[in-house]
Amino acid sequence: MARPRWLMRFDHESPAQRVCFGTGQAADLVKREVDLLGERVLLIASEAETAIAEPLASALPVVAVFRDVAMHVPLRAAERAREAAEHHAADVILSVGGGSTTGTAKAVALTSGAPIVCVPTTYAGSEATNVWGITDAAKKQTGTDPRVLPRSIIYDAELSRMLPIDFSVASGFNALAHCVDSIWAPRANQINRAFALEGIRALRRGLHQIKADPRSLDGREQMLLAAYLSATAFSSAGSGLHHKLCHVLGGNCDLPHAETHAVVLPYVLAFNGAAGGQAMSGLAAAFGADTADAGLRQLRADMEAPTRLADYGLRVDQVAAVAREVMAALPAGNPRPVSVCDIEAIIDAARVGADPCTAATRADLVNDPATHQATAPIIPNRQIAREEELVERVLASFSGARDPRLKHLLEASVRHLHALLREVRITEQEWSRAIDFLTAVGHASDARRQEFVLLSDVLGLSMQMISINNEAYANATEATVLGPFFLEDSPEIPLGADIAFDAVGEPCWVEGRVSDTTGKPVAGALLEVWEADEDGYYDVQYPDARMAGRGRLRAASDGAFSFWALTPTPYPIPNDGPVGRLLEASGRSPMRASHLHFRVTAPDLRTLVTHIFVAGDELLATDTVFGVKPSLIKDFARQSKGTATPDGRDLEGRSWSRVRFDIVLAPAVSAGSKWRN
């Protein structure tokens, strides 16, 4: 009798190990677990992990310490660790550190049988698997053995709290790769899939928390939980295509383990996704997105995860050999047939950071148009090598540059511009049109109109530059774009005066206070203010040369300032030139949300360029230069006709508005920024 197709049939093995979670309790938990397992401890911890490991081992009977930990567990390092264990008759191994440290402990356990107590400080997940790996002569050999499964795991979020955010992200994506690979691995079943999907959810929570606050204990605990769930799923389901790719890349090309997983994962997901069936729906739900590809893409963007294997040293001439070795040991059960050409395409796309969905397609494969973009042909390795060789020749031409910063800028520009042309496979006609466009931008620029600044604004480049150069600092006011209409020589006015001059619009009283991040008033701070009139024109757009709608004033001794301006109104950026034609061609509006410009300077404090925006403006979400930030949206309170003004000014029966904008300036140098890792 045939079995109904909806009945489950699978075998599942659960790891025989104790898992101990206890933030701030690692030392006590380690002692408890070691006391149960042995009396002569071999401590394995790298030099970098010594400061964490020594306090944990201070109350233990440590007979030897092994610190020669290396990535991918070289055979020589494994043999030296084994010799240390044998020479000192160690009967229990304490591993404190990341995946390489755990891997070294496993190499010892594989031959000695000594139990491992593992204290992970990263999110590699090796502690929850019976998988071992040793590299010899640029070849990584892997296997499974129950002896290498750690007997006890101690998870303490305090120990990973100082892990740099960039490495935390890469390590988290390593765990994410365990989850995704488990969905299609040879022994995948409903139990390990449930672990994998919950691991993805925990990773999403944890990654966002530690990105916002790298010292968040809750975020670090979520990451450790996810590491365990993901590794348990992987250990049960087995190694799939993704892990085989990464192990060969790491062992043969000496690429960093976590970063390699982070880069390669979206390419394997996109490749297998077309044949992934219902599993893709589960992944999409775990990522909190419409599709798994979109969810992973968004998470990578949010976390600023690594995107190119070339950044870690992978060369084009290494691709073919890696693909052949992966093909020779391809795991069973991949949801889609795999060829050497497919593997080459995946690796090379990951090498240069090409779009994963496009790279996953093949010319002879019919894809579901609802889930995949239009395909591009696979580029032969010979052609790729020609293109790479040109890039290298251009880069070499800058070797004589005397200014190191200029050399760096030129090299980076060449790499990225060449990568753009190669990714989109630009045609000669398109290139000619691009040159014509930039020429037109130059012709549209003059002393009173900067079309290149406008182009930078609408492409978001100006805001990106502002973000890079104005890092968040305490409670300092956020910066935004300068725009193309700032002038250095605006007229100086006293406090309480009117910057409008003869510009037309509803009067607006603006007041506030300038202080530093400690709350100290910044006396004499220079405020330069400018805006468009009610018709959307700046004075530089007037047919004559008069100045209006701008001025400069200085804060009082208590940091206070006040002046009259115009109530801001929406307006289009200049769209009668090439930038306007670009917006029209791309279906974008030229409109800017209502705003008032400020530039504030003071000695020893960071210059602030910013706007304030009008609360309730319908254009806040679609500002064409991406300048709106929630903290800069202010209430411009409307005042009816006849309402008394703060300074007694007679507005002759006109309505007016008022707004308060308190400005906080950051120090001129933000030393030791936590984001620069």
The per-residue b/e assignment along 60-76, b for 16 or more CB within 10 angstroms, e otherwise, is bebbbbbbebebbbbee
- The amino acid occupying position 112 is S
Q: How many CB atoms lie within 10 A of CB 250?
A: 22
Q: In Å, how far are 119, 147, 187, 462 from 240, measured between CA atoms?
A: 26, 22, 10, 43
Q: Is the pLDDT of residue 361 over 60?
A: no
Phi/psi at 30 (nearest 5 deg)?
-60, -45
pTM of the predicted model as reported, rounded to 2 decimal places = 0.52
Q: If 0-12 CB within 10 Å is exposed, 13-18 middle and 19+ buried, where does residue 461 land?
A: middle
DSSP-derived letter for residue 543 is S
Residue 427 has pLDDT above 60, yes or no: yes
List the single range of 229-238, 403-412, 585-594 with lowest mean pLDDT.
229-238
> In the CATH hierarchy, which fold is given to the domain comprising 18-160?
Rossmann fold (3.40.50)
Contacts of 225 (CB under 8 A, 6+ apart): 21, 155, 202, 206
Q: What are phi and psi of 363, to 5 degrees?
A: -65, -25
Name the residue with tokens 């093949």: 362
Query: Can you tell me which residue has the tokens 């900067």?
Result: 450
Write the burial class of residue 624 (CB in 10 Å: 0-12 exposed, 13-18 middle, 19+ buried): buried
Read off the tokens for 355: 């779009």
Supply the angle between the helices 578-585 and 451-458 in degrees, to the nearest 10: 20
Element containing residue 52 per DSSP (H, E): helix 50-57
- Does the pLDDT at position 637 exceed 80? yes
Cα separation, 432 vs 43, in Å, equals 64
Alpha carbons 118 and 128: distance in angstroms, whole number: 9
Residue 291 has what DSSP assignment? S
Q: How far apart are CA 119 and CA 605, in angstroms?
A: 45
Beta bridge partners of 139: 136
Distance CA 153, CA 232 (A): 12
Main-chain phi, psi angles of 349, to 5 degrees = -65, -40
CATH class of 458-665: mainly beta
Confidence of residue 3 (pLDDT cuts 50, 70, 90): very low
CA distance 29 to 119: 10
Q: pLDDT digit string (tens) for 594-604? A: 999 999 999 99
Q: In the prediction, which pLDDT does 85 show?
A: 96
CA angle 264, 265, 269 (to 5 degrees): 125
Residue 560 reports pLDDT greater than 60: yes
Q: What share of the chain is helix, strand, coil (3-state, %, to 5)?
A: 45, 15, 40
Regarding beta strands 637-639 and 656-660, do their DSSP bridges make them parallel or antiparallel, or are they unpaired?
A: antiparallel
Q: What percent of the chain has pLDDT over 70?
A: 93
- Please list the residues that pair with 515 across neighbouring strands: 521, 664
Residue 314, burial from CB neighbour count under 10 angstroms (0-12, 13-18, 19+): buried
Superfamily of domain 165-359: Dehydroquinate synthase-like - alpha domain (1.20.1090.10)
Q: Which of 90-104, 201-215, 360-374, 615-629 has the lowest mean pLDDT?
A: 360-374
* CA–CA separation, 213 and 571 (whole Å): 38
Separation between Cα atoms, residue 196 and residue 228, nearest integer Å: 10
Nearest CA to 322 among 572, 138, 70? Answer: 138
Judge whether 595 and 613 are in contact, CB under 8 Å: yes
Q: In this structure, what token pair is assigned to residue 260? A: 């390699």
pLDDT tens-digit map of 95-144: 999 989 999 999 999 999 999 999 999 988 889 988 899 988 777 788 88
| Nearest-angstrom CA–CA distance, 366 and 362 | 8
Sheet hosting strand 92-97, strand order edge to edge: 18-21, 152-155, 116-120, 92-97, 41-44, 62-66
Strand locations in 53-109 (E): 62-66, 92-97
**Any idea where the domains of the chain sit in the sequence?**
18-160, 165-359, 381-426, 458-665
d(Cα 580, Cα 573) in Å, to the nearest integer? Answer: 8
Q: What is the mean pLDDT of the chain?
A: 89
- 59 Cβ partners below 8 Å, 6+ apart? 27, 31
Buried-exposed string 163-201: b where 16+ CB fall within 10 A, e elsewhere: bebbbbbbbbbbbbbbbbbbbbbebbbebbbebbbbbbb
CB contact set of 51 (below 8 Å; sequence gap of 6+): none
Distance, CA of 459 to CA of 465 (rounded, Å):
11
What single DSSP character describes residue 625?
Answer: T
671 confidence band (pLDDT: 50, 70, 90): very low
The per-residue pLDDT for 7 is 63
The answer to which of 25-34, 146-155, 164-173, 498-507 has the lowest mean pLDDT is 164-173
Best-predicted range by mean pLDDT among 198-202, 231-235, 273-277, 361-365? 198-202
Same fold, 18-160 and 458-665: no
- Which tens digits make up the pLDDT trace of 615-633? 999 999 999 999 999 999 9
